[in-house]
Structure 1
Amino acid sequence: MTDTTAGHRFGEGPLARASALVYTLLVVELLFLLTTVPGLIGLVLLGRDATNIPLAALCLIPAGPALSAALYALHHRRLDLTDLHPGAAFWRGYRANLRGVAKLWIPWLLWLAVIGSNLATAGARGWWAALSVLIAVAATLWIANVLVITSLFAFRARDVARLSVYFLTRSPRASLGNACLLVLAAGLTLVASEALPVLLASVFASMLLLNSRTVIAEVRERFTA
């Protein structure tokens, strides 16, 4: 009885919880890389040329379901070090959300590819360039909501799309926090390379969940039975 109690306390202590979080982040990151590696290799080979924007969007298609699976696994993570199954949770979320995420992730990528290509090839300047950038940022904040809602709830794609638009202004703190994540990811990409945000994907997913706490709570309270 004593040994069982001691083991239970070990699994639930502060140090054990921190270790459980680190372990979960590492496993989720490895599985994210595993499920996106073909596209990531393509991105590395493409380089930063404006004509490669459509191909880059194509390479990013696997990232949507992988991010959704990461969000699902992190949301359902266990705090007990002796009861960790992040890999199983990742694959469960991947299978459950693959189609739902793809229905909105792929159109978003196509939309960004169109905006990016127009900005790069047409040499847009002034107010038109600023407007295009604002639209791209808004669309990215929208897809962040899409990923969270699709990963944790079972709604039709069109309902997810509407809810994601609704929460852009309904939860300004979440939108601001996600905007900060976007700036951070863009900064890391410019200063270092595209590989750095990818290697921190599980950390970004964890921060996205943290930013979206009010969104998750309201969806659960108001829009689920």
Structure 2
Amino acid sequence: MDVDGSGAGRMVRAARTINRCVVLGLCLALACAPSVVVGLFVSATPLGLMLYVLGLVAVAPALSAGLYAVRGWRRDPGAGSARLFLRGYRMNVVDVLRWWVPTLVAAAVLAVNVGYAGDHVAGPLLRAAGIAAGVVLALWAGNALVVSSFFSFRTRDVARIAAAEMFLSWRVTLGLACLLLVAAAAVYVAGDGAMLLLAWVFVVLLELVARPLVAHVTARFTPAEPDAG
């Protein structure tokens, strides 16, 4: 069978790609399920929103493992999707949680401030400032996720690089903002189940969007190709 140019070869490659996406989707769904379960039991109140945000602790390690797996496909087309995902999770979970947990705490505080802003005289201004700060925090977290997934830096260096790359790789930041907007809209319209069903799409697109950022960080902060994790 000519897997390089024939119709059968194209079908094999298409089937392989579909299989990878299905396996990635299942892995992400299982890894993110605890956060979705938490979301089912919180109320639509500012306190409930804070608990919902804190319940997202499982999401970033899962997305990091997904990024590792997607990049692994490009480097080793024959590698198994589940194996790459598990390897990425094992390698990156601690590094990701070191910045992700404080980020969630900050996001939870912002969520409460936004939720209770109506109780203050300057409520609209406080709410707008809280939302703006939340957007900046989300964009920074997206960069930090990419950096900690593909590089072995100290947590404080991940934080600094992620902040700097928001401006140095502004096209990536713009692309990330679009992805986050679409993801937030999907969750708002379809509920938390959309996060499980579409997480693999988000990961695949994020890996694609973030390639210039990875290349820039590689050129500036590493002497050679970085070790994942």
Q: If the length of structure 2 is used for normalisation, what is the TM-score?
A: 0.87
Q: 2:107 aligns to what?
A: 112
State the distance in 2 between where 1:36 and 1:190 align.
17
Q: 2:61 aligns to what?
A: 65
Q: Is the 8 A contact 2:42 2:49 kept in 1?
A: no
SS in 2 for 1:20: helix
Q: Is the 8 A contact 1:20 1:84 kept in 2?
A: no
Question: Which amino acid counterpart does residue 18 of structure 1 have in structure 2?
Answer: A
SS in 2 for 1:154: coil
Q: 1:30 aligns to what?
A: 26
Question: Residue by residue, what CA displacement relative to the aligned partner does 1:9-68 show, whole Å, maximum 9, x if unpaired?
Answer: 679944433333322221111111212222221212224332212321232111111111
Question: Which amino acid counterpart does residue 130 of structure 1 have in structure 2?
Answer: A
Report the CA distance shift for 1:11/1:117 in structure 2 as closer, same or farther (over 3 A): farther
Which of 25, 36, 56 is the aligned partner of 2:52?
56
2:165 counterpart of 1:167: yes
Q: 2:227 aligns to what?
A: none
Question: Residue by residue, what CA displacement relative to the aligned partner does 1:170-198 show, whole Å, maximum 9, x if unpaired?
Answer: 11111111111111112112222122133
Q: Is the 8 A contact 1:146 1:161 kept in 2?
A: yes
Q: 2:153 aligns to what?
A: 155
Number of aligned residues = 220
Report the CA distance shift for 1:11/1:201 in structure 2 as closer, same or farther (over 3 A): farther
Q: 1:188 aligns to what?
A: 186
SS in 1 for 2:222: coil
| Unaligned residue ranges in structure 2 (runs of 5+) | 224-229
State the distance in 2 between where 1:72 and 1:80 align.
12
SS in 2 for 1:110: helix
2:219 counterpart of 1:221: yes
Question: Which amino acid counterpart does residue 157 of structure 1 have in structure 2?
Answer: T
SS in 1 for 2:41: helix
Q: Is the 8 A contact 1:78 1:84 kept in 2?
A: no
Report the CA distance shift for 1:7/1:177 in structure 2 as closer, same or farther (over 3 A): closer
Question: Residue by residue, what CA displacement relative to the aligned partner does 1:110-139 show, whole Å, maximum 9, x if unpaired?
Answer: 111000111112326333221211110011
State the distance in 2 between where 1:190 and 1:9 align.
43
Q: If the length of structure 1 is used for normalisation, what is the TM-score?
A: 0.89
2:91 counterpart of 1:91: no
Q: Report the RMSD for the aligned CA atoms in angstroms.
A: 2.3
Q: Is the 8 A contact 1:174 1:215 kept in 2?
A: yes
Q: Percent same amino acid at aligned positions?
A: 35
2:117 counterpart of 1:122: yes
Report the CA distance shift for 1:214/1:78 in structure 2 as closer, same or farther (over 3 A): closer
2:70 counterpart of 1:74: yes
State the distance in 2 between where 1:99 and 1:166 align.
23
Give the deviation of 1:74 after TM superposition. 0.8
State which drifts further: 16-25 or 172-181.
16-25
Which of 129, 132, 155 is the aligned partner of 1:131?
129
Question: Which amino acid counterpart does residue 142 of structure 1 have in structure 2?
Answer: W
